[in-house]
Copies of this chain bind each other. A is one copy, B any other.
Amino acid sequence: MEKNNRREFIKTVGVGAAAVGAGIAASAVPAMAKKEKTFRWKMCTTWPPHFPMLGESADKIAQWVDEMSGGRLKIEVYGGGELVPAMGTFDAVSQGTVEMGHAASYYWAGKVPAAQFFAAVPFGFNAQSINAWILSGGGMELWEEVYSKFNIKPFLAGNTGAQMGGWFNKEINSMEDFKGLKMRIPGLAGKVLAKAGGSAILMAGGDIYTNLERGVIDATEWVGPFHDLKLGFYKAAKYYYYPGWHEFGTAFECMINKDAWNLLPDDLKAIVEAATYKSNIWMLSEFEAKNNAALRELVDVHKVQLKEFPKPVIKEMRKLSQEVLEEQAASDPMFKKVYDAFLAFQKNIYGWNKLSEEPYQELKKL
């Protein structure tokens, strides 16, 4: 029922029911009022408003929930800074300032280091495997445990697929080339770079291009061809490297304040959950379908030089990544618990992928 109709209806029924007798009306009207209750939620995001793919997917979740609920759950979506700062999203959801947040869980590394496994860690899962781990391999139970003390219920809500290794103004031919390299690369991957002798430089997204152009940094990672083309990095760097060893399939999250969640009737809970599943597959499919056209434009029109990190470099970076993860695990029991589960699932999925996805990807070489 439309909201306006409902108001009209309640008015009508109110008078009518009184005329019939309180006994019967009491069993009927409250049941309806409960069922037809309309919820208005706020969703903060860590993205600029309507940011391609990421902000769009938050918008779509709100739209799908609206459609599925017949307007009974309205979610207003805010870009980062519109209601709270982008990086305040976690706290806003935790404290109930807003009911919902849309982000990537590795943004909360400073507060909840273990959360990073549910977005991306260096040499972590691709999209298909992180989905399998979280949805069917015990990952979600761990994620819920990690977030429970913050009064947040997490949902998996999107994935970029594999990202690129980044934009460089010098070639990377051996590990030596990382020595002294100033690169914008956040989180655990930044620690890996530091181990390799480089410097991970932090800066706001809006400053990256200028700093790269002026040589304040020698390199930066961002997302993949679709986004990187839009940001024009090809004008400030010569080489575009793959693979994105630090983010092979970055997952996004919907966080919901548990008190708000518990107030929802079961049908709306099911609707919100389904919207996150839909968003997950929608976003990945969009990235997969669109990345190559952007890549072609970068290479064919803008003459970007595509480069693959040499295999010995990848192998060494993986070793350094393991060291970084192990060091963090040694100082944080919850991080260790999730890391152990991550490693067990990695062994499991690698065993199967060896026979399935690996030969599929190798067809291109035949």
- A interface list, Cβ under 8 A from B: 1-2, 5, 8-9, 12-13, 15-20, 24-25, 27-29, 31-32, 35-36, 64, 67-70, 123, 126-129, 131-133, 135-137, 161-162, 164, 224-225, 242-244, 248-249, 265-267, 270-271, 273-275, 277-278, 280-282, 284-286, 288-293, 295-296, 306, 308, 311, 314-315, 318, 345, 348-364, 366
Contact = CB atoms under 8 A, between A and B. Distances in A.
Given A64-B274, A132-B285, A162-B356, A17 B12 contact: yes
9 closest A-B pairs by CB: A16-B16, A162-B356, A132-B288, A243-B359, A136-B289, A67-B270, A70-B267, A292-B352, A277-B278
Contacts of A282: 135-136, 277
16 contacts: A9-B28, A12-B17, A68-B270, A70-B267, A136-B289, A162-B355, A164-B355, A224-B356, A243-B359, A277-B281, A277-B282, A288-B349, A318-B363, A318-B366, A358-B361, A360-B361
A94 to B, nearest CB: 27
A352 B295 contact: yes
Contacts of A296: 351
Given A123-B363, A242-B356, A350-B364, A267 B133 contact: no
A277 to B, nearest CB: 4
A27 B4 CA distance: 11
B271 A360 contact: no
The DSSP consensus for interface residues of chain A is: helix
Given A358-B361, A364-B350, A28 B12 contact: yes
Nearest to A139: B289
A69 B70 CA distance: 10
A8 B35 contact: no
A47 B119 CA distance: 36
A20 B16 contact: yes
Contact of A12 (B15, B25, B289, B291): B25
Given A35-B70, A67-B266, A136 B286 contact: yes
Given A288-B129, A289-B137, A314-B366, A27 B15 contact: no
Contacts of A308: 355, 359
Contacts of A67: 266-267, 270
Nearest to A286: B136
Given A128-B161, A292-B352, 5 more contacts: A9-B31, A137-B285, A271-B271, A314-B363, A358-B362
Contacts of A286: 132, 136
A128 B355 contact: no
Contacts of A292: 348-349, 351-352
A291 B352 contact: yes
A285 B134 CA distance: 9
Contact of A135 (B9, B69, B285, B314): B285
